């Protein structure tokens, strides 16, 4: 590490903290990886959360996504990609571990914020206003948020989620933390939570690139032996045909865990490779086309379910599989040169 790395927005203090980062939901600037020109401006809740946490820390989240080369097809879904905690520590000096919740939930969170530790916690998206039009006040589902500021007296919470920084107040605050009448029972399970110990300083760009290159080489050595998109193509038509008689929500769940996961995964890989340097231009271009192609395949799937004709969907998957082969071949060639 450089002896004089850049300061981050996170500044340690001997006094208890009321917030982690000195940012506000009304003026927060999201990272370009969540920009409107992206094919997948939202990926999955955990990866999106880390993009914005690293953005708020004042460092480059692009460095964290070399692990995406190892995405696999798991039979009924593509790997739900999450930045490995070992990678995050090696790259940024960020240490992440499970947070045991055994007593009053809000009190646990207040203690960790007081020590300037970011808490990542799975809560109910029913009470998260940034999901308006999707799940807010409509459906219950778990999602991971990062808590930047909590004020129990004012019933306010500033939280990182998906592609930004947002605020919960009032009844939504009460519902999120199970403070509404009848929400808490003796047999109610605590949510899963992690605590993130943030570094005093962020690494220099040159150090970050060196570490990212080393990690990419490690992940490249562990990629699936055969093409996971080709394996998906073998079973995809049968899976799609099973969706024809089901409700529309089944399609959305299926598409999220298959086409969206692979598309967003490889768009992030393209961003990572472009950030690393021009020697990765060839695999980066194929990764980006794979990301875009997955979105087209998702449209073709929706059309196929209406028409019950799957030829275009299958052709789109064949193209994705070819781009996957090209990505891996290009990465191997870049590492040999």
DSSP for 144-205, please give it. EEEEEEEETTTTEEEEEETTEEEEEEHHHHHHHTT-STT---TTPPPPPEEEEE--SBPPPH
Closest CA to 119 of 129, 107, 133: 107
Ordered per-residue pLDDT tens for the chain, 337 residues: 333 334 345 444 444 568 999 999 999 999 999 999 999 999 999 999 999 999 999 999 999 999 999 999 999 999 999 999 999 999 999 999 999 999 999 999 999 999 999 999 999 999 999 999 888 999 898 999 999 999 999 999 999 999 999 999 999 999 999 888 877 665 568 899 999 999 999 999 999 999 999 999 999 999 999 999 999 999 999 999 999 999 999 999 999 999 999 999 999 999 999 999 999 999 999 999 999 999 999 999 999 999 999 999 999 999 999 999 999 999 999 987 6
Q: Please tell me the predicted confidence (pLDDT) of residue 166.
A: 97
Q: Please tell me the predicted confidence (pLDDT) of residue 17.
A: 60
Q: What is the pTM of this model?
A: 0.91
- Domain segments of the chain as ranges: 32-72+81-197, 205-336
Q: Which CATH number is associated with domain 205-336?
A: 1.20.120
Q: Domain 32-72+81-197 has what CATH class?
A: alpha beta
Which residue is it, tokens 């087209």? Answer: 296
Q: Please tell me the predicted confidence (pLDDT) of residue 1.
A: 36
Q: Please tell me the predicted confidence (pLDDT) of residue 8.
A: 45
Q: How far is residue 283's CA from residue 281's CA, in Å, rounded to a whole number?
A: 6
Phi, psi dihedrals of residue 39, rounded to the nearest 5°: -70, -35
Q: Please tell me the predicted confidence (pLDDT) of residue 18.
A: 83
Closest CA to 120 of 85, 89, 169: 85
Q: How far is residue 85's CA from residue 79's CA, in Å, rounded to a whole number?
A: 16
Which residue is it, tokens 């599989």? Answer: 321
Three-state secondary structure call for residue 126: helix
Helix (H) and strand (E) counts in the chain: 10, 6
Which residue is it, tokens 């799937």? Answer: 301
């Amino acid at each position: 590490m450089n002896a004089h790395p850049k300061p981050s927005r996170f500044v340690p203090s001997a006094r208890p903290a009321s917030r982690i980062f000195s940012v506000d939901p009304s003026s927060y600037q999201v990272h370009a990886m969540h920009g409107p020109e992206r094919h997948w401006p939202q990926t999955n809740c955990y990866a999106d959360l880390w993009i914005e946490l690293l953005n708020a820390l004042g460092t480059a989240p692009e460095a964290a996504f070399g692990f995406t080369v190892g995405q696999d097809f798991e039979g009924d879904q593509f790997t739900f990609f999450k930045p490995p905690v070992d990678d995050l520590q090696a790259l940024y000096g960020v240490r992440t571990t499970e947070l045991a919740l055994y007593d009053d939930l809000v009190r646990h969170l207040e203690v960790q914020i007081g020590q300037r530790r970011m808490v990542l916690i799975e809560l109910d998206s029913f009470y998260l206003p940034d999901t308006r039009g999707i799940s807010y006040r409509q459906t219950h589902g778990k999602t991971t948020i990062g808590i930047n500021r909590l004020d129990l007296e004012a019933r306010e919470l500033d939280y990182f989620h998906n592609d930004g920084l947002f605020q919960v107040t009032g009844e939504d605050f009460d519902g999120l933390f199970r403070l509404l009448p009848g929400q808490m029972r003796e047999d109610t399970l605590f949510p899963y939570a992690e605590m993130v110990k943030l570094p005093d300083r962020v690494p220099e760009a040159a150090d970050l690139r060196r570490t990212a290159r080393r990690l990419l080489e490690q992940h490249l050595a562990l990629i699936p032996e055969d093409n996971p998109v080709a394996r998906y193509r073998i079973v995809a038509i049968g899976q799609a045909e099973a969706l024809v008689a089901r409700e529309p929500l089944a399609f959305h769940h299926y598409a999220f865990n298959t086409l969206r996961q692979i598309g967003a995964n490889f768009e992030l890989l393209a961003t990572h490779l472009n950030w690393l340097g021009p020697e990765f231009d060839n695999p980066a271009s194929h990764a980006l086309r794979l990301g875009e192609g997955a979105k087209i395949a998702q449209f073709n799937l929706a059309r196929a379910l209406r028409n019950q004709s799957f030829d275009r969907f299958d052709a789109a998957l064949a193209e994705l599989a070819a781009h996957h082969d090209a990505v891996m071949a290009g990465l191997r060639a870049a590492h040999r040169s």
